[in-house]
Amino acid sequence: MATLLQQLISGLVLGGQIALIALGYTMVYGIIQLINFAHGEVFMVSVFGALATYNWFIPESWQQTWPLALLAMLVGAVVVAVVLAVLMERFAYRPLRNAPRLAPLITALGVSVMLKEIVRLSFPGATAAVHVPRAFWDEPITFKVPGGTVVIGSTGLLVIVVAIVGAVLLQVYISRSRMGRAMRATAQDPDTARLMGVDPNRTIVLTFVIGGALAGVAGVLYGVHLNNVDTDAGFLTGIFAFTAAVLGGVGSIKGAVIGGFIIGVIKTVGGQYLPGGTAYDLVWIFVLLILVLVFRPQGLFGEPERVRA
Amino acid sequence: MTGTPVLAARDVSMVFGGLTALSEVNLTLDEGQILGLIGPNGAGKTTFFNCLTGLYTPTRGTVTLRGTRLPSDPAAVTVAGVARTFQNIRLFPSMTALENVVVGRHSRMKQGPLASLFHGPAYRRGEQAARDRSLELLEFVGLGRVHDELSRNLPYGDQRRLEIARALATDPSVLLLDEPTAGMNPQETEATRQLIFAIRETGVAVVVIEHDTKFIFSLCDHVSVLVQGKLLVEGTPDVVRGDPRVIEAYLGKPPDEVEAEVRHYADETADHTQVIELDGGSEGDKR
């Protein structure tokens, strides 16, 4: 019982990180039908942005006080991620907006390789794990359950809370605000939205900005939770997040978050209990993905694809 | 009708590759006018609308709104004051009727991306004003009771009226209606006619594309006939209705010529039937 609960909690923590990144995939896909494969790398770069802020831009006294350090890292990571996402949209994807879908997809793969190499060149030794400071209140929370105790790290709890709060805020923003409405209108019919006075470029840039900001938040949380990062961090997490978005239904915010948590839990609980152990945990994730795609191609919360006029 | 033209198209031509869709089309829309644009299928009516809304940039010629040249970006054209509906209804299907209209208010609202994040009082006032105005417009077109329905669940006639409400939400000086009564029954058509008169009363000039000539002649102050991308005739409904060229191009040829055509067609079909029989015969031979 204790073991199951413990694995469940670890799964939710992992799932929270995946969910924050999955939101970026799902929003960009929703509005321009592009699977932005470079989004995982944006997340990875943002961890290094946070690290660079901590190491180079804040005084030692701040480094000693975690709330200041965390805040500085958050700002650093979000700024780096947002700037990157905006540049990417402007120079890599916008020129290809009316090109066949394959062209921006391949470009996304190219951008992702480029970002990884830029980090490798700017942070010598980053291909192996680089230390990231903890920068958070570090009392783990322990509670007793029948058959033992369960521990949840304070940073882990932070990840779960931020993921859920972030997704709820995003959902409210998109369903209630002026720009959120513009995003939904552009997603449903870009030409008509334009003819109703909605500027598509501003709307699409905003989508990338929000996705980037969430990836930046995920980056800081990843860093302070795991206390290390390397240039490969974006690849696997990116694949997980992409899978979560597809599982939940690309374009759906609720779907991306629930998909993220499902994947996190399958990885940890499946790694514990299913045959093959942790060596096979990825297998179960992708088996589930295949099953969902076979029986519900639009994902758990996605709308079935409509034929457009 | 006198006064400054609201919308003026001068020598507008649109060429796609080797195809000339529009050739030197002129159109003047006066304040408070309802102008009908008619013509057979493929005459270039919708292409002309696309030129007026910035969706296409005319190959040659200019479009001016109150003397100012229209920008070539559709969003900017809407901001300048030209709004439209579509021949094939193009609502945002997963939004409610009210939300569809509020999207139309988008360019008349000031709230930026951050303002809506912090929900200040000014932001709330702006949202409320947009909602109020949109509900008012829904009442105006007769859809007040269904403002909470998803637009894709509305009946066909209501969808057409919702498109009109959404276009009006952009505060246009000119409203372009692309076949507003297509597929409607006589009662709905009459209601649409009254609605267009009511829109004119609010100070919006209207251009209507229609196939239903009876509808156009009973609605418009001025009618332009477009045939094969060229402006054939224009004038008051009475002038246009009586013009022999219009009768030929739009309503069909005089009866004796039509009879001749029917005979010609009958001959051709007869030939065709023969060919089929021959084919059938040869196939039988092969077996």
What are the domain boundaries of chain A?
2-295
Is residue B25 within 8 angstroms of chain A, CB to CB?
no
Mean pLDDT, residues B92-108 = 94
The fold for domain A2-295 equals ABC transporter involved in vitamin B12 uptake, BtuC (1.10.3470)
From first CA to last CA, the distance across chain B in angstroms is: 75
Of A196, A209, A309, the CB nearest to B78: A196
Looking at this predicted complex, what is its ipTM?
0.84
Predicted confidence at residue B34, as pLDDT, reads: 96
pLDDT tier for residue A308 given thresholds of 50, 70 and 90: very low
pLDDT over 90 for what percent of chain A?
A: 64
Helix (H, G, I), strand (E, B) or coil at B120: coil
Task: Annotate B201-220 with b (16+ C-beta within 10 A) or e (fewer).
Answer: eeebbbbbbbebbebbbebb
- Picking from A31, A168, A181 by the largest number of B CB atoms within 10 A of its own CB, the best residue to mutate is A181
H or E segment to which residue B84 belongs: strand B82-84
Mean model confidence pLDDT for chain A = 91
Q: Is the separation of the CB atoms in A227 and A51 below 8 Å?
A: no
Lowest mean pLDDT among A29-38, A48-57, A173-182, A296-305: A296-305
Is residue B95 within 8 angstroms of chain A, CB to CB?
yes
Separation of alpha carbons A47 and A49, rounded Å: 5
Lowest mean pLDDT among B1-5, B70-74, B81-85: B1-5
User: Distance (Å) from the C-alpha of residue B90 to the closest C-alpha of chain A?
Assistant: 7
Residue A273 class from Cβ within 10 Å (0-12 exposed, 13-18 middle, 19+ buried)?
Answer: exposed
pTM over cut 0.95: no
Separation of alpha carbons A47 and A27, rounded Å: 21
Instruction: Provide the CA B191 distance to its chain's centre, in angstroms.
Output: 17
B96 pLDDT above the threshold of 90: yes
B3 pLDDT above the threshold of 70: no
Separation of alpha carbons B71 and B79, rounded Å: 10
Long-range pairs for A58-64 at CB < 8 Å and ≥24 separation?
Answer: A63/A133
- Picking from B106, B114, B118, B131 by the largest number of A CB atoms within 10 A of its own CB, the best residue to mutate is B106
Of B94, B106, B117, the CB nearest to A173: B117
User: Distance (Å) from the C-alpha of residue B279 to the closest C-alpha of chain A?
Assistant: 40
pLDDT tier for residue A309 given thresholds of 50, 70 and 90: very low
Write down the domain spans for chain B.
5-252, 253-287
Predicted confidence at residue B287, as pLDDT, reads: 39
Predicted confidence at residue A141, as pLDDT, reads: 85
pLDDT over 70 for what percent of chain A?
A: 98
Lowest mean pLDDT among A4-18, A115-129, A261-275: A115-129
DSSP string, B195-241: HHHHHHHTT-EEEEE-S-HHHHHHH-SEEEEEETTEEEEEE-HHHHH
Cα torsion for B214, B215, B217, B218, to the nearest 10°?
110
Of A184, A185, A195, the CB nearest to B53: A195
Helix (H, G, I), strand (E, B) or coil at B253: coil
pLDDT over 90 for what percent of chain B?
A: 61
Mean pLDDT, residues A191-204 = 94
Per-residue H/E/C for chain A: CHHHHHHHHHHHHHHHHHHHHHHHHHHHHHHHCCCCCCHHHHHHHHHHHHHHHHHHHCCHHHHHCHHHHHHHHHHHHHHHHHHHHHHHHHHHHHHHCCCCCHHHHHHHHHHHHHHHHHHHHHCCCCCCCEECCCCCCCCCEEEEECCEEEEECHHHHHHHHHHHHHHHHHHHHHHHCHHHHHHHHHHHCHHHHHHCCCCHHHHHHHHHHHHHHHHHHHHHHHHHHHCEECCCHHHHHHHHHHHHHHHHCCCCHHHHHHHHHHHHHHHHHHHHHCCCHHHHHHHHHHHHHHHHHHHCCCCCCCCCCCCCC
**What CATH architecture is B5-252?**
3-Layer(aba) Sandwich (3.40)
Is residue A117 within 8 angstroms of chain B, CB to CB?
no
Predicted confidence at residue A146, as pLDDT, reads: 82
B263 pLDDT above the threshold of 70: no
Of A177, A181, A309, the CB nearest to B90: A309
A123 pLDDT above the threshold of 60: yes
Q: Give the model confidence (pLDDT) of B106-145 as tens digits.
A: 998 887 777 766 777 888 888 899 999 999 999 999 999 9
Q: Give the model confidence (pLDDT) of A59-100 as tens digits.
A: 888 888 888 999 999 999 999 999 999 999 999 999 999 899
Is residue B58 within 8 angstroms of chain A, CB to CB?
no
Which position has the higher pLDDT, A308 or A270?
A: A270
Separation of alpha carbons B239 and B132, rounded Å: 43
Helix, strand and coil in chain B, % to nearest 5: 50, 20, 30
